[in-house]
Structure 1
């Protein structure tokens, strides 16, 4: 090898392989296409390896090129791990907390909780990361977030996981619906009603259907949606009824009839954090703010629940 590759050459190789074209790599690197081609040519010259095959004007990574790329990718992954470690240390030193939130809770719920938390810790910094529950659990374990709000429990021994609220799902209908005259809604009441559900692979939908199986109730699905706030908004606009966790309905509460649903279908929403978290005082404070927000929302909607342990 004539001389060691420099960082810019390595970045060019990585960008071309990941982007597929020199033009796209140039955009990512904020340089011209000829500059990218020159970096690659110098890299091949310095390493004395044919890293690309030229096929009909395109660069196709050779076997040598792919082997080198895999090593480069491992190095960059290590650098990212160092960046995460630096970020973790900074959060602990400067009073920062990172919160992983499932998309359905990223609206009024998280903004109310953050406002309450900052009223107590005005100098703290909050980073909100919106991801699916599965990713939030993974990010907790890798210490990329301090606390997670998810739609399931987890049995991981390194994670403390408690119910976000101790109550059940509710039936929501448009304001002025006939359900407003009822103390609670039962399976016979919703039989044949236009029903707005979650997507077919959603755990809550499957849980609702499983509960209703023994009652002979026919859910008259007219549409479904991926996120609970969208379901609540469509109900508020008079399109049908739904069974949801009341926390999701808070933003539309003035446009909804909200009633307990029987038989009970327990909420799956959970609050979780690492058992050995180094950010304990802020995590405890955020958990307290979260529970206070739940209580505030439930009182605002006339919904009761068991106390959260």
Structure 2
């Protein structure tokens, strides 16, 4: 055995065994009869034993060739699957996508976007892992995920990020006097029980500054880490909250209303990924798809 086997040699052998002659095999493979003969000769030389016998005008496999046939068929099937998978990856219809995100995203905006994205990409496997921003940063540094959706990101040399601002709204129980207003300002919330995000967050600091600029002090009735938690309290009539419209939109028809909040206090999302890990084509495509889904929530001047 002094040469490498090739898939084309194996295909030629199968074609000859199936069709019985070199001529018919050449037609099936759409190559010349001498080309088929050469492929069989090279395969015979590589393996070191005869593969075909001639009986009654037909070529039939030798016992050694019959013994090899199951492995040959499995090999060609595997190559075919690899080829199909490679084509699907190139066409972005197959692959693996690992996303780390804030817990609120895992149950609000992200599932809808992923459902649309995967509709034409049935071969893509997705993993979603929700956690706090600090943990998401650890995962990005450790290259454990392809993409992270977080907030309050202040930069890290091992992480590439893109900031996207999302407009905020004031959400309140249905029937509240706030429904009479077209835009809600800090002065309109003086007597309201306000549900806020954690005090150490960037968003809380910006919101506090907006209240001070309007001559008010931001007071907190309930502190909640996630906007979705605030929405749940508002649904129960506990108070009001200034949150991302992405989250508020998930609660339409659930006993709440919301209005634009002014001055503009955007919720800054960060789309992050490891710098030293090459981002897959499917991950890059999803990033663009996800950014497109956020365009309708871009902040607008009041």
Scaled to the shorter chain, the TM-score interval is: 0.5 to 0.7
Which residue matches 1:30?
A: none
SS at 2:129's partner residue? strand
Partner Cα separation in structure 1 for residue 154 and residue 147 of structure 2: 13
Is this contact kept in 2: 1:100–1:130, CA < 8 A?
Answer: yes
Show the 5 A alignment for 1:21-100.
95-100=95-100
**Helix, strand or coil at the partner of 1:104:** helix
Matched, 1:186 2:180: no
Retained in 1: the 8 A contact 2:266–2:299?
no
Aligned equivalents of 2:266, 2:299: Cα separation in 1 = 10
CA-CA distance at 1:124 after TM superposition: 0.7
Tell me, yes or no, if the aligned pair for 1:183 and 1:259 is still in contact at 8 Å: yes
Does structure 1 residue 156 correspond to structure 2 residue 150?
Answer: no
Match of 2:279 in 1: 279
Q: Distance in 2 between matches of 1:120 and 1:136?
A: 28
Q: Does the aligned pair in 1 maintain the 2:166–2:269 contact within 8 Å?
A: no
The whole-number CA distance in structure 2 between the counterparts of 1:305 and 1:216 is 23
| Alignment correspondent of 1:259 | 259
CA shift, 1:174, in A, is 1.3
Question: 2:299: which partner in 1?
Answer: 305
* Structure 1 runs (4+) greater than 4 angstroms displaced: none
Aligned to 1:234: 233
TM-score of the superposed pair, with normalisation by structure 2 = 0.62
Find the counterpart in structure 2 of residue 65 from structure 1.
Answer: none
The CA deviation at 1:115 is 0.7
Give CA deviations for 1:9-36 in whole Å, capped at 9, x if unaligned. xxxxxxxxxxxxxxxxxxxxxxxxxxxx
TM-score by length of 1: 0.61
When the two chains are superposed, the root-mean-square deviation of aligned CA atoms in Å is 2.4
Query: Does the 8 Å CA contact 1:193/1:220 hold for their aligned counterparts?
Result: no
Structure 1 residue 236: deviation in Å? 2.1
* Structure with bigger gyration radius: 2
Q: 1:253 to 1:126 in 2, by over 3 A?
A: same
Q: Which ranges of structure 2 fall in alignment gaps of 5 or more residues?
A: 1-88
Paired position in structure 2 for 1:126 = 126
Aligned to 2:139, the other structure's residue is in SS state helix
Bigger Cα displacement from structure 2, 137-146 vs 219-228: 219-228
* Aligned 8 A contact 2:97 2:282 in 1: yes
Contact 1:172 1:244 in 2 (8 A): yes
Asked if 1:290 corresponds to 2:298, the answer is no
Q: Is the 8 A contact 1:193 1:219 kept in 2?
A: no
Size of the aligned set, in residue pairs, is 208
Q: Distance in 2 between matches of 1:250 and 1:277?
A: 34
Structure 1: gaps spanning 5 or more residues? 1-91
Question: Residue 202 of structure 1: CA displacement?
Answer: 3.6
Cα distance in 1 between the residues matched to 2:270 and 2:241? 21
Match of 2:196 in 1: 197
Preserved CA contact (<8 Å) 1:167 1:266: yes
Q: Matches of 1:207 and 1:142 in 2, distance apart?
A: 31
